[in-house]
């Protein structure tokens, strides 16, 4: 049984307290290894190493920084299967999805490596003669990255790669529920040539290591992905300390199915969006808003599909749906079934733990379809983060859009229709950061902005060119070669 270490200042070191925590396979309960249970002293050492490395790293030309990312992307690609298997073992998602998680890290790393030659500023005419005006990007400094367990390769890559290529140094804390994938990713970046101190990996729990990252005075910017509750706490603390913060805090996403939809395509997409990753995605389709003309047929077909899904360990190629991440999450989903019954929703299929045989060893929940949903129900407004979706009947497109927009989140939405006018009406009116036409609520690509509105985030975006905005500061530069004092708004004819 391997015991892993933090990576601080170019060295692998245990937590200063000597404490560790176990990394558990959620499909079997098997312990996969032990990781440092770090505290404030460990974070302080990591922040100090990052601060010391910052001047050299930011002075390295961005195309040279990008070369390291290109090498890392190639190494991830070469080890894709090994990395995917480790990811499935510690997080539980089926192996095909784990390969997709790793592929997203490959894609993001290659993409952000390309940004080493595209960190464009701007030039603009000055309002004064013989004066040059431009704006350039600068790294923010030492940044703290806090990531969740549900995409333990993809989401760290969304944060690490733009932060590194723009010249920042990093203190990185992954979730304690999926630490092995973070270890694998950091080890590859080191092998690719990342200098000591540029990237520092600190394992630990949110209330200790996470809070220490937010509090450390050398860390000037925080990027956090996780729950809305914790994200608000991070934002409040960072704001009190005068730090910048980028938040991605989940969603309550909906698929709209209109009367003219291709029902087979919509059905495939809802099953994938609602039950993929056991519903443990911020983009999961936890609501299906169905126009009444197709409600009966669509509902019956969705119930049949959910009933046919096979549960089991993610490494089994016959498995459709893997386990939830831990006992706490399983208990949370169970509590929402009680809430659904109290609110009058019908549990058409599922609604309980999956038991029997090997399933008793893990944290499995049956794929669940709730019917007779109403927009005001808690199960239709709150993020459950399990394999549960609620069908909400509507009469019109306008009503469907209003129901979609009525929740306190705004990450992803989808609509199925053959009418181009209805599709463009939805594009304009849906209030989410991601909108899909004739596709489910998941499937973002790395070269487009990722993020949402309302309780989903605070305006920052990950992925694509927009990610550079989170990790750089603008610097306006004026070069006056007139040889005399020119007072911009004062000296006018």
What sign results for the dihedral spanned by CA atoms 464, 66, 103, 470? Answer: negative
The two three-digit tokens of residue 392, written as one number: 């909400």
Dist. CA 63–CA 323, nearest whole Å: 42
Q: What is the number of residues in the chain? A: 493
Residue 68 CB contacts under 8 Å (≥ 6 apart), including other chains: 164, 189, 192, 193, 194
Instruction: Report how far residue 303's alpha carbon sits from residue 196's, in angstroms, rounded to the nearest whole number.
Output: 53
Catalytic residue chosen out of the listed positions 97, 208, 282, 383? 282
- For residue 490, give both structure tokens: 């004062």
303 and 348 Cβ atoms separated by less than 8 Å:
yes
- Is 457 strand, coil or helix? strand
What is the residue-wise DSSP string for 318-380? Answer: T-SB---SSHHHHHHHHHHHHHHHHHT-EEEE--SB--SGGGGGS--B--EEEES--TTSGGG
Does the active-site annotation cover 248? yes
For the question of residue 176 being annotated catalytic, the response is: no
For residues 364 and 375, give the distance between their C-alpha atoms in angstroms, rounded to a whole number: 27
Instruction: Name the active-site residue from 97, 208, 211, 248.
Output: 248
In this structure, what token pair is assigned to residue 257?
């199915």
DSSP conformation class of 326? S
Q: How many CB atoms lie within 10 A of CB 85?
A: 16
- Cβ 280 vs Cβ 385: under 8 Å: yes
Which residues are designated catalytic?
248, 282
């Amino acid at each position: 049984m391997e015991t892993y270490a933090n990576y601080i200042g170019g060295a692998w070191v245990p937590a200063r307290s000597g404490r560790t925590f176990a990394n558990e396979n959620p499909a079997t309960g098997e312990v996969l290894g032990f990781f440092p249970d770090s505290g404030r002293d460990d974070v302080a050492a990591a922040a100090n190493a990052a601060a010391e490395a910052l001047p050299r790293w930011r002075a390295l030309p961005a195309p040279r920084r990008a070369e390291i990312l290109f090498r890392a992307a190639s190494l991830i690609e070469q080890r894709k299967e090994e990395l995917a298997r480790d990811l499935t073992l510690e997080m539980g998602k089926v192996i095909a999805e784990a390969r997709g998680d790793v592929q997203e890290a490959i894609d993001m790393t290659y993409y952000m490596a390309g940004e080493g030659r595209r960190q464009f500023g701007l030039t603009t005419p000055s309002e004064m003669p013989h004066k040059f005006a431009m704006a350039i990007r600068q790294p923010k400094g030492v940044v703290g990255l806090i990531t969740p367990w549900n995409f333990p390769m993809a989401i760290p890559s969304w944060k690490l790669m733009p932060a590194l290529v723009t010249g920042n140094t990093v203190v990185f804390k992954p979730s304690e529920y999926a630490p092995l994938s973070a270890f694998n990713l950091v080890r590859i970046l080191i092998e690719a040539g990342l200098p000591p101190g540029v990237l520092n990996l600190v394992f630990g729990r949110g209330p200790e290591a996470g809070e220490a990252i937010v509090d450390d005075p050398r860390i000037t910017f925080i990027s956090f992905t996780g729950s809305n509750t914790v994200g608000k706490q991070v934002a409040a603390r960072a704001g009190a300390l005068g730090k910048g913060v980028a938040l991605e805090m989940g969603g309550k996403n909906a698929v709209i199915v209109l009367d003219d939809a291709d029902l087979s395509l919509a059905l495939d997409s809802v099953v994938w969006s609602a039950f993929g990753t056991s519903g443990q995605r911020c983009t999961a389709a936890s609501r299906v808003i169905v126009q009444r003309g197709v409600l009966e047929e669509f509902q019956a077909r969705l119930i049949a599909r959910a009933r046919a899904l096979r549960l089991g360990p993610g490494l089994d190629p016959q498995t459709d749906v893997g386990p939830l991440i831990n006992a706490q999450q399983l208990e949370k989903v169970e509590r929402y079934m009680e809430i659904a019954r109290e609110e009058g929703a019908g549990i058409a299929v599922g609604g309980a733990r999956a038991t029997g045989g090997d399933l008793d060893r893990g944290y499995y929940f049956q794929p669940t379809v709730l019917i007779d949903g109403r927009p005001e129900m808690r199960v239709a407004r709150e993020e459950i983060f399990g394999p549960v979706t609620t069908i909400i009947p509507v009469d019109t497109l306008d009503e469907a859009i209003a129901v979609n927009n009525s929740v306190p989140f705004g990450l992803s939405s989808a609509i199925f229709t053959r009418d181009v006018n209805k599709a463009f009406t939805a594009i304009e009116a849906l209030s989410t950061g991601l909108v899909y036409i004739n596709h489910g609520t998941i499937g973002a690509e790395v070269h487009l902005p990722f993020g949402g509105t309302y309780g989903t985030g605070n305006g920052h975006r990950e992925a694509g060119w927009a990610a550079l905005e989170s990790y750089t500061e603008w610097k306006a530069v004026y070069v006056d070669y007139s040889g005399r004092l020119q007072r911009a708004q004062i000296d006018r004819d």
